[in-house]
Amino acid sequence: MIDILYNVEHQEAAGILIAVYFYLTGISAGSFILSTLAYVFGQTRYKPIGKIAVILATVVLIIAPMALLIHVGRPFRAWRLFYNINFTSPISWGSFLLTLYPINCIIYGYYIFKNNPKMTKLFGTIGIPLAVSVHGYCGFILGFAKARHLWNTALMPILFLVSAIVSGIALVIFVVYIRDKFFSQERKANEELIFDLAKLMGGFLLLDLFLVLSDVLILLAGNENAIKAGWLLLTGKFAIPFLGIENGLGKVLPAILIFSTKLRTVNRMVWASFLVMFGILIMRLVVVLAGEFYPLI
């Protein structure tokens, strides 16, 4: 007979709301960086999507912290992060980044609509490292968790950034298509622009797949707990979300649609962008939930 002296369940450190927060900040960062291609780097062919991209980046980023504040349970104490500063903590850095980045987005967008190229380029240039940092710090938060083998990898911030760019481009493709098809006078999508954006998205998709493959192979070559985490993704509870949805449906299938000349149509590019957005959402959920699947001993 076994006597149970106490049975205390540990609180979940991260959950679905944190995954949603990671997802939304990623879409915002990706959309913002895409908008700078025209206004900072002079790629005029992307100018038709510049205004849409910065609006999406700003709106999504304003929504994102709500998921974070709901998760922490005491949202009205969040202001304490601004004076209880720990410079070795990504969360401390993130508190200030989440304040500075949306302010910069609003100023940047203001000058875009005011047709002020000089100030637009200035705040676009300032916004690039802010956008990268706002989402990159999310990857660092997980990467610093030494006891979680699925998270504790130097690839985590890079994985987050690349998937952010992919999801940001996908959202812009989807919204541009809806705008042109249903709300423009011509009622016709800009095929050349959509195909161009789709190819850009496809390139980052291939990079994303390479990083995911590298991450899994490194896990399988690690210690006992790392191998256990790797097989959790390949044959365990998260195999279908990871292999089937995140990578199969959300990356491989869109890449085939994008790079196959026989299959490439505007409508399929829009479907590919939708699948990519859904796949990256599942990626965020898999990373967060699978990382906490095994209890710490």
Range of the structural domain that residue 115 is part of: 16-291
Distance, in Å, from the CA atom of 245 to the CA atom of 286, rounded to the nearest integer, reads: 10
Is residue 139 situated within a structural domain? yes
pLDDT tier for residue 266 given thresholds of 50, 70 and 90: very high
Is residue 125 situated within a structural domain? yes
Locate 283 and state its tokens: 């990626």
Is residue 75 situated within a structural domain? yes
**Any idea which residue has 């000058």 for tokens?**
111
Is residue 296 situated within a structural domain? no
Q: Write down the mean pLDDT value for the chain.
A: 89
Is residue 278 situated within a structural domain? yes
Is residue 271 situated within a structural domain? yes
Distance, in Å, from the CA atom of 127 to the CA atom of 202, rounded to the nearest integer, reads: 24
Domain count, the chain: 1
Q: Per residue in 104-146, pLDDT tens?
A: 999 999 999 999 999 999 999 999 999 998 888 888 888 888 8
268 has pLDDT over 70: yes
Nearest to 18 by CA among 289, 295, 293: 289
pLDDT tier for residue 10 given thresholds of 50, 70 and 90: low
94 has pLDDT over 60: yes
Is residue 1 situated within a structural domain? no
pLDDT of residue 138: 82
CA end-to-end distance (rounded Å), the chain:
23
218 has pLDDT over 70: yes
Is residue 3 situated within a structural domain? no
pLDDT of residue 4: 58
How many CB atoms sit inside 10 A of residue 221's CB? Answer: 10
The CATH number covering residue 96 comes to 1.20.1630.10
Locate 12 and state its tokens: 């979940």
The Cα-based distances of 175 to 31, 52, 258, 263 in angstroms read 11, 8, 18, 22
Q: What is the DSSP code string of 181-244?
A: HHSSSS----HHHHHHHHHHHHHHHHHHHHHHHHHHHHHHTS-HHHHHHHHHHHTSTTHIIIII
pLDDT tier for residue 3 given thresholds of 50, 70 and 90: low
Helical (H) or strand (E) element with 273:
helix 266-291
If you average pLDDT over residues 149-178, what whole number do you get? 93
pLDDT of residue 58: 92
C-alpha count within 13 angstroms, C-beta hemisphere, residue 273 = 26
If you average pLDDT over residues 227-243, what whole number do you get? 95
pLDDT of residue 70: 83
- Tell me the whole-structure pTM to 2 decimals: 0.90
